[in-house]
Amino acid sequence: MVLGRSEKCDRMRGSISAELDGELSEFESIRMRGHLGRCESCRTFKAGAERFATALRTAPLEPLSKPIAVPSRRRRALPLRVPAAAATAAVVMIAFGAVFESLHSAPVTGGSRSPAAAWDNRQDYRAMLKRQLAANYAQLLVRRAQLESNQIPRHPGFQNP
């Protein structure tokens, strides 16, 4: 059964590499030593790998001609541009809706509002708009604080780790 032996030797060679990097568990180390006691080709591989690793680790480092910038693996969350833009769009839509409603809401029974009543209505809408804008802004600040303190659950399917 040469095929089974070859697969086992391939796995053991991976274990030899992991041992050289200090990443082999105690159980895997025992298995590898048992295999090395029976397999000459894997013992030869281990000796060559040890010599190669030692040569690499003792070789002097080459100076770089220019610095290398390695990008971070972790993506940073976007600043609050998207939520802030959405909140701004919602406030603008509310404002336009309020203006549209105030211009087109004449009483059905006839007559028009007095200019003073229309002005008071606009002031009420402006006050309501300011309150809503302040509430939206406060909510955005709370969400930003939650996001920065990792209190908002992240779902691996929707964003990178």
pLDDT (mean) for 96-107:
71
Q: Which residue shows structure tokens 């992240």?
A: 154
Q: What is the pLDDT of residues 30-59, one digit of tens each?
A: 888 889 999 999 999 999 999 999 998 888
At residue 2, does pLDDT exceed 50? no
Q: What pLDDT sits at residue 143?
A: 83
* Per-residue tokens: 161: 């780790």
Split at pLDDT 50, 70, 90, the class of 77 is low
CA atoms 25, 35, 57, 69: torsion sign: negative
Residue 95 confidence (pLDDT): 82
pLDDT at 1: 39
Predicted pLDDT of residue 50: 93
Band of residue 62 on the pLDDT scale cut at 50, 70, 90:
confident
Contact 125, 102 (CB under 8 A): yes
Residue 69's pLDDT is: 80
Written as six digits, the tokens of 122 are 């606009």
pLDDT for position 51: 94
> What does pTM read for this prediction?
0.39
Contacts for 160 with CB less than 8 Å, ≥ 6 apart: 74, 75
Q: What is the pLDDT of residues 109-141, one digit of tens each?
A: 445 555 555 555 777 778 888 899 999 999 888
